[in-house]
Structure 1
């Protein structure tokens, strides 16, 4: 029997994750069955269950991947000296996250913001998923705290500012941007960048 390459295995796993994410974003977690996922990805049950034991495992994998992508982007920025200012950094990370999922759309609009809202809603009843979200959020927050401290060391931010409070506020701006996309339609990342830049300009003269 011919050996299946790792590239093929990775591509198949990607196919399943993307198809499941579209199903969940379209109909929600409870209204989506594994049969719906199988139909979306056009694979047999055996092919899918080789990678994921069920719907809950699929959900955890999708959520963990997204949080890891966001955390990695912020951590990479934190290694720059000094880090890019918030309006550039947040808009760049959000733009990257959306571009990586650009081909996955529902009725012509990106699926990702809708999926985020579905995930947050599910955490209110699913303690296991809530734990995954809490752990991922803690890692993202830690990356942002490092960025804020980088601002302070570079003299870009007041030394007496609370890094944790600033980090939570910056993360909230990214979360709010995704909610607006999910509820009110596709919005340009440039709008997020311009808005944050405008807020940061307060106190400047001229």
Structure 2
């Protein structure tokens, strides 16, 4: 029997993850069955279960992947001296997430923000997923803290506010934007970038 290449195995795993993410975003986590996933990806149960034991394992893999991508963008920014301004950096991160829409036609709206909102609610009942989200959040926050410290060292941001507080706030901004993007039709990344640029341009009275 011919040996299956690692490239083939990776491509099959990718196919399953992309199809499952689309199903979960379209119909919700609980309304989607493994049969729905099998139909979406066009594979047998045996082929899918070779990689994932069920829905929980699928969603955990998808979430871990997105969090890794987001953390990677922040960590790359932290290596720059100074880092890009906040509105550019957050726009870059969100643009990166919104580009994660495999299987959709050009111009189609990304389903990842919708998927992430569903995952957030699922963490309230799924301890394993909650732990994964917390771990990912810690990693993203640590990367953001390094970015903020870069701003402070470059004199771009006041140093009298703890970097962790700024990091948490910027993450909250990105999360809020993702929720708006998932729920409403008239939301674009450049709106957030312009809004952040306006906020950071404020001159507060002494």
> Shorter chain as normaliser: what TM range?
over 0.9
1:93, 1:125 → 2: CA distance? 28
Gaps of 5+ in 2: none
Q: Where does residue 165 of structure 1 map in the other structure?
A: 165
TM-score by length of 1: 0.94
1:136, 1:101 → 2: CA distance? 20
Q: Where does residue 96 of structure 1 map in the other structure?
A: 96
Q: After TM superposition, which residue ranges in structure 1, 4 or more long, deviate above 3 angstroms?
A: 102-105
1:138, 1:191 → 2: CA distance? 27
1:102, 1:193 → 2: CA distance? 25
1:30, 1:188 → 2: CA distance? 29
Q: Where does residue 47 of structure 2 map in the other structure?
A: 47
Tell whether the 8 Å contact from 2:181 to 2:188 is kept in structure 1 after alignment. Answer: no
2:51, 2:65 → 1: CA distance? 15
Q: Where does residue 153 of structure 1 map in the other structure?
A: 153
Gaps of 5+ in 1: none
- Give the total of aligned pairs: 203
SS where residue 100 of structure 1 aligns? Answer: coil
2:145, 2:109 → 1: CA distance? 32
SS where residue 99 of structure 2 aligns? Answer: helix
CA deviation after TM superposition for structure 1 residue 27, in Å: 1.2
CA deviation after TM superposition for structure 1 residue 104, in Å: 3.4
TM-score by length of 2: 0.94
1:151, 1:123 → 2: CA distance? 33
Over aligned residue pairs, what C-alpha RMSD do you find?
1.6
Q: Where does residue 77 of structure 1 map in the other structure?
A: 77
Q: Where does residue 185 of structure 1 map in the other structure?
A: 185
Q: Where does residue 128 of structure 1 map in the other structure?
A: 128
